[in-house]
């Protein structure tokens, strides 16, 4: 009975066996072609190939899991610092207001991005916003210049806006992120770039899964005076008696510089947090994808293995029956 | 009527509660702030901030920056601040001596200025401890 069944199976398989060149198969993408050919059960794909692929996918999964954990621990460290620095620029906003709509001639866009990749889409969103700003503010009188912090934004902006870039600063993360470092940086920027309004573009860290691109505006003292005269939030500034120096202008200048360095400090920290958070979620999804791929490859492997066993059996049995009969 | 005082540094919030009166040192001298003071935005020098809570004075060493006073709310943003009670007297004294020695050795305008600032900071810290005692 069993022999008859096997013979029937042999007959079913035999006409479908078609010789296929192995090389062509190896060059095409492995997973879809295997799924097409497997039901036929031809022994032209070796289990070795599938096993190699499974090993490499497993390694990738281990690496991405480790990267996710590293990012999580770095995030914990920076998060407390970022939250503490948030309180710093709030008094400035309360006093001077944050006016994204201020109409000024010389805009400088400070784009903050990361140095390393594999962190999701945060750098592209920052660059997109910076470019949008540039387009909005480039007209006959107005001009926009870039100051770039971080390799990733540099790579994207150098391609098409090379002439508008004033200053590029990279490898921020190598120095410890504290206020002194950032104030030195802010000093450099203020010295080399003349501006009416500084727009700092960064990703604000709301939670581990949400990073919102934000623009903070710091106005130069002259513009502050001008806006104060036109009333509104800044109009209250005049009601403050300003002491502690020779002239009011000098104090306002100091205030503007201090405001810039505080806002920069907060922006850099928030961007670092967003980078780690984005990296965590990117690595998490890639580990999950690797897991899925591994499952599919395991199924393919088992099918291939069973197919090869079946064909061996068929050969043996048909050989044996040929000898008998 | 009490004043709400907030002392903030880039790294943390040093003080955030109500006080009766403060004495702040600015570039143009010391000012005392009582409730219902006029609105002022002023630069803060490297010096001591004295806080009075219920007839008890506390000192804090501030390393310069800005203060805003208005509507019984005082916000002081400084580069660095230390409570007088947190400073170790021995260490502050040593820092003062080192700063003085460095000042004598300093050459060139930039170094002199830096050492001057370091000396003032060290002196402020020592004064903050002494003022409590």
CATH of the domain at A202: 3.40.1380.10
Give pLDDT tens digits for A202-225.
Answer: 999 988 888 889 888 887 777 766
Q: Looking at the predicted structure, is the pLDDT value of residue A9 above 60?
A: no
CA distance B11 to chain A (A): 6
pLDDT of residue A32: 45
Contacts of B43 in chain A (CB under 8 A): 243-245, 251, 254-255
**Hey, are the CB atoms on B68 and A255 less than 8 Å from each other?**
no
pLDDT of residue A208: 86
pLDDT of residue A284: 94
Q: Looking at the predicted structure, is the pLDDT value of residue A93 above 80?
A: no
- Closest by Cα among B69, B80, B77, B60 to B37: B69
* Residue A304 falls inside a structural domain: no
pLDDT of residue A278: 93
* Residue A19 falls inside a structural domain: no
Domain count, chain A: 1
* Residue A154 falls inside a structural domain: yes
Q: How confident is the model at residue A157 (pLDDT cuts 50, 70, 90)?
A: confident
pLDDT of residue A274: 92
pLDDT of residue A35: 45
Interface test with A, best of B66, B71, B74, B121 (most A CBs within 10 A): B66
pTM: 0.76
pLDDT of residue A245: 56
Q: Looking at the predicted structure, is the pLDDT value of residue A228 above 80?
A: no
Q: Which of residues 214-243 of A touch B (CB under 8 A)?
A: 237, 239-243
pLDDT of residue A71: 92
**Hey, are the CB atoms on A240 and B40 less than 8 Å from each other?**
yes
A246-256 average pLDDT score:
72
Pairing of strands A197-207, A210-219: antiparallel
* Cα separation, A35 vs A33, whole angstroms: 5
A119-128 average pLDDT score:
89
Q: What's the ipTM?
A: 0.74
pLDDT of residue B100: 81
pLDDT of residue A33: 46
- Long-range CB pairs of A37-43 (<8 Å, 24+ gap) are A38/A300, A38/A303, A38/A304, A38/A307, A40/A16, A41/A13, A41/A307, A41/A310, A41/A311, A42/A17, A42/A18, A42/A307, A42/A311, A43/A307, A43/A308, A43/A311, A43/A312
Provide the percentage of residues in chain A whose pLDDT is more than 90.
25
* Residue A190 falls inside a structural domain: yes
Which residues, 6+ apart, have CB-to-CB distance to A264 below 8 Å? Answer: A110, A182, A185, A186, A200
Give pLDDT tens digits for A37-90.
Answer: 444 444 556 888 899 999 999 999 999 999 999 999 999 988 888 888 887 777
DSSP code for B3? E
Q: Looking at the predicted structure, is the pLDDT value of residue A31 above 90?
A: no
Rg for chain B, CA atoms, rounded: 15
Please answer whether residues A105 and A141 qualify as being in contact, where contact means their C-beta atoms are separated by less than 8 angstroms: yes
Q: Looking at the predicted structure, is the pLDDT value of residue A139 above 80?
A: no
* Residue A243 falls inside a structural domain: no
Closest residue in A to B64 (Cα–Cα): A258
* Residue A219 falls inside a structural domain: yes
**Hey, are the CB atoms on A241 and B38 less than 8 Å from each other?**
yes
CA distance B77 to chain A (A): 7
Domain holding A178, by residue range, is 66-234+249-283
* Residue A74 falls inside a structural domain: yes
* Residue A215 falls inside a structural domain: yes
Q: Is the dihedral of CA B20, B25, B27, B29 positive or negative?
A: positive
A/B interface, count of CB pairs below 8 Å: 72
How many CA within 13 A on the CB side of residue B20?
Answer: 7
pLDDT of residue A21: 40
Q: Establish if A81 touches chain B: CB-CB under 8 angstroms.
A: yes
HEC states along A248-316?
HHHHHHHHHHHHHHHHHHHHHHHHHHHHHHHHHHHHHHHHHHHHHHHHHHHHHHHHHHHHHHHHHHHHH
Please answer whether residues B5 and B18 qualify as being in contact, where contact means their C-beta atoms are separated by less than 8 angstroms: yes
| Least confident window among A145-159, A177-191, A244-258, B64-78 | A244-258
Q: Which of residues 243-262 of A touch B (CB under 8 A)?
A: 243-245, 251, 254-255, 258, 262
Residue with the bigger pLDDT between A23 and A230: it is A230
pLDDT of residue A17: 42
Give chain B's residues under pLDDT 50.
133
Q: How confident is the model at residue A276 (pLDDT cuts 50, 70, 90)?
A: very high
Q: Establish if A19 touches chain B: CB-CB under 8 angstroms.
A: no
A164-179 average pLDDT score:
78
pLDDT of residue A240: 65
* Cα separation, A109 vs A97, whole angstroms: 18
pLDDT of residue A88: 77
Residues pairing with B53 in the sheet? B56
């Amino acid at each position: 009975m069993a022999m008859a069944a096997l013979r029937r199976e042999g007959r079913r398989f035999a006409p479908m066996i078609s010789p296929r060149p192995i090389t062509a198969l190896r060059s095409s993408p492995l997973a879809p072609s295997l799924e097409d050919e497997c039901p036929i059960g031809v022994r032209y794909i070796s289990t070795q190939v599938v096993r190699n692929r499974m090993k490499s996918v497993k390694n990738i999964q281990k690496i991405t899991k480790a990267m996710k954990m590293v990012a999580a621990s770095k995030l914990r460290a920076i998060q407390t610092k970022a939250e503490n620095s948030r309180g710093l620029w709030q008094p400035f906003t309360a006093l001077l207001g944050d006016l994204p709509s201020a109409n000024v001639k010389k805009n400088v866009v400070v784009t903050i991005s990361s140095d390393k990749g594999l962190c999701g889409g945060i750098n592209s969103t920052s660059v997109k916003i910076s470019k949008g700003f540039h387009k909005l503010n480039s007209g006959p009188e107005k001009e926009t210049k870039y100051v770039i912090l971080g390799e990733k934004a540099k790579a994207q902006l150098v391609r098409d806006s090379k002439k508008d870039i004033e200053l590029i600063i990279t490898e921020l993360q190598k120095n410890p992120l504290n206020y002194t470092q950032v104030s030195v940086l802010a000093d450099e920027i203020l010295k080399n770039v003349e501006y009416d309004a500084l727009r700092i573009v960064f990703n604000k860290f709301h939670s581990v899964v949400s990073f919102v691109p934000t623009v903070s505006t710091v106005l130069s003292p002259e513009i502050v005076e001008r806006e104060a005269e036109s009333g509104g939030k800044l109009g209250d500034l005049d009601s403050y008696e300003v002491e502690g120096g020779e002239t009011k202008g000098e104090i306002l200048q100091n205030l503007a510089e201090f405001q810039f360095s505080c806002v920069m400090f907060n922006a850099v920290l928030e961007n670092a947090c967003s980078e780690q958070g984005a990296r965590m979620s990117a690595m998490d999804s890639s580990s999950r994808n690797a897991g899925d791929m591994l499952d599919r490859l395991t199924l393919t492997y088992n099918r291939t293995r069973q197919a090869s066993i079946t064909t061996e059996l068929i050969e043996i049995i048909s050989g044996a029956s040929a000898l008998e009969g | 009527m009490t004043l709400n005082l907030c002392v903030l540094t880039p790294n943390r919030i040093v003080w955030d509660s109500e006080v009766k009166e403060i004495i702040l040192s600015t570039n143009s001298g010391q000012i005392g702030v009582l409730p219902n003071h006029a609105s002022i935005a002023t630069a803060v020098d490297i010096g001591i901030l004295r806080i009075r809570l219920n007839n008890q004075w506390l000192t804090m060493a501030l390393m310069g920056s800005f203060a805003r006073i208005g509507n019984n709310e005082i916000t002081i943003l400084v580069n660095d601040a230390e409570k007088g009670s947190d400073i170790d007297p021995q260490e502050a004294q040593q820092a003062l001596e080192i700063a003085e020695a460095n000042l004598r050795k300093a050459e060139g305008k930039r170094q002199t200025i830096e050492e001057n600032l370091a000396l003032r900071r060290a002196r402020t810290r020592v004064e903050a401890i002494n003022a409590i005692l």
